[in-house]
A and B are shown apart, each in its own frame.
Chain A
Amino acid sequence: DAGVTQSPTHLIKTRGQQVTLRCSPISGHKSVSWYQQVLGQGPQFIFQYYEKEERGRGNFPDRFSARQFPNYSSELNVNALLLGDSALYLCASSPRLAGVTGELFFGEGSRLTVL
């Protein structure tokens, strides 16, 4: 079975630009979460969606937004990119609301570099 798939795997943007990252969860999983992992740090929670509704938001500015589609795939958008947004963006899916068990299945991530 396919795991969590993310695209693109790598991308380079310049300050001020906008980026859209995509995620397809494991088949049958209805919950998608987004995490930001800066080099040398652990992942930091950005958003969680369940059944197409936002169920949690981390301490990130409004430049960050996300949505979940009827097929449970998800997009993360970041506007007005800053150098500090350079990171690995991880998508994770779970069969239930992730907040119940904490058991997440992560994709390989999208490596964003902002110049």
Chain B
Amino acid sequence: GQQLNQSPQSMFIQEGEDVSMNCTSSSIFNTWLWYKQEPGEGPVLLIALYKAGELTSNGRLTAQFGITRKDSFLNISASIPSDVGIYFCAGLNYGGSQGNLIFGKGTKLSVKP
């Protein structure tokens, strides 16, 4: 089945540092999304990308939809303690009237004040 390879698995950074994580797939996706999950919570949508090559920002977060449609990256600038959590990439598997998300295994981010 389709799988997403997300890297790195975990990151330990100092407050104020920039963060970069990425996601690759052997299959093409028409939509890429990035979600964040904090302990005891469900995932929350951060950014959605709908077009190959698209670069989208949401505050300190920037994400890009790869030209090949097989990859995406997420950057976080000037990290702060509340950025702690697990970041998941997801590809939308859409056909006809049906669709579901394929999630990566996540990147766990820890921020040291």
Contact = CB atoms under 8 A, between A and B. Distances in A.
Interface of A: 4, 33, 35, 40-45, 48, 55-56, 58-59, 90, 92, 97-109
Contacts, number: 76
B92 A102 contact: yes
Interface in B71-105: 88, 90, 92, 94-95, 97-105
Interface residues of B, number: 28
Contact of B42 (A48, A59, A90, A103): A90
B40 interface: yes
A4 B6 CA distance: 27
A42 B92 contact: no
A43 B33 CA distance: 13
Nearest to A45: B100
